[in-house]
Amino acid sequence: MNTMRTGLLMAALMGLFLAAGYLLGREQGMLIAFVMAAGMNFFAYWNADKMVLRMHGAKQVDRQTAPEFYAMVEELSQRAGLPMPKVYIMDNPQPNAFATGRNPENAAVAATTGLLRLLDKDELAGVMAHELAHVKNRDTLVMTMTATIAGAISMLANFGMFFGGNRDRNSPFGAIGMILMVILAPLAAMLVQMAISRTREYGADRGGAEISGQPMALASALAKISGAARRIENPTAEANPATAHMFIINPLSGQRMDGLFSTHPDPRNRIEALKQFAQQMGNSHASTGPWTAVAQERDGPWG
């Protein structure tokens, strides 16, 4: 269902691009905008993972530096049928995590020290399984394609604003229609892009629950993380809001609603979806998984 919804949203985004392109720049303007946007996102596709990890101060760990955490990710990767990703830890008190990389063979997962201190083993396994589900679902590729089209729409709007767009008096839209398109097309593209991001989060929640086998542990983790994220600021994410959609919980302050302008679903809706999935699995308890531990605050990263 999430895959179908993503496909429909991407089709709507492409339709919006074609409509805006024809109105504002005809075929030539549409082609120029798409080539420029595709070029920028092609660079990002190959380099964004390194840039984001460096931006958030992530440090790579291995069996020696974080043996328990590394072993957990390794076990989950095997369960998911994925190559072992690179594993990173960010020195950040806000509990959060993200995945990056252009494909499963070049993936990385990162967790904050705040996450490692807050969660018990089952909950941590659920979060990292969620991130591996993003890798398995190739969500990085989906969001890169989405960003390419949304970026092209924004460029078309800029062309229309600075160069007057289509001045053909026979246009059924007229000058007012062109002005509205310049204003509304980028806004509509942003809304569709955010809707796709929210859809991929639901898909990763379900995939993570399947990989870890513990949907309620992931639900418990989401409750803990969202509560802590409201209290603990993430200055790096605030300074780089374009990376917010990558995290399992929105790291930005003041953007917790499951509304049109949110990159993440409301955690309560995600938890409810996980509860329903747990009932389908016949697994309503988080304490029966292979990483069972008593929840407690820890002084440092796993391992």
**According to the model, what pLDDT value does residue 77 have?**
97
pLDDT at 194: 75
Position 273 scores a pLDDT of 95
pLDDT for the residue numbered 180: 67
Name the 3-class secondary structure at 97.
strand
Mean pLDDT by 10 residues, the chain (303 residues): 65 74 68 73 77 92 96 97 97 95 92 97 97 91 70 70 54 59 72 77 94 96 94 89 85 61 84 94 54 40 51
Beta strands across the sheet bearing 97-100: 58-61, 86-90, 108-112, 97-100
Instruction: Report pLDDT for 73.
Output: 98
Helix (H) or strand (E) holding 13: helix 2-55
Distance CA 220, CA 86 (A): 26
Any idea which residues carry the catalytic annotation? 131
Per-domain boundaries in the chain: 2-163+171-281
How many CB atoms sit inside 10 A of residue 283's CB?
17
| Pairwise CA distance, residues 66 & 58, whole Å | 14
Question: How high is the pLDDT of residue 183?
Answer: 74
What pLDDT, on a 0 to 100 scale, did the predictor assign at position 32? 72
Rounded to 5°, the CA angle 139-86-81 comes to: 60
Say if strands 86-90 and 97-100 run parallel, antiparallel, or are unpaired.
Answer: unpaired
Query: How many CB atoms are located within 10 Å of the residue 131 CB?
Result: 29
Nearest to 175 by CA among 183, 187, 166, 186: 166
- Per residue, the 3-state secondary structure of 111-176, as one string, reads EEHHHHHHCCHHHHHHHHHHHHHHHHCCHHHHHHHHHHHHHHHHHHHHHHHHHCCCCCCCCCCHHH
Residue 131 pLDDT: 96
- Do 225 and 232 touch, CB atoms closer than 8 A? no
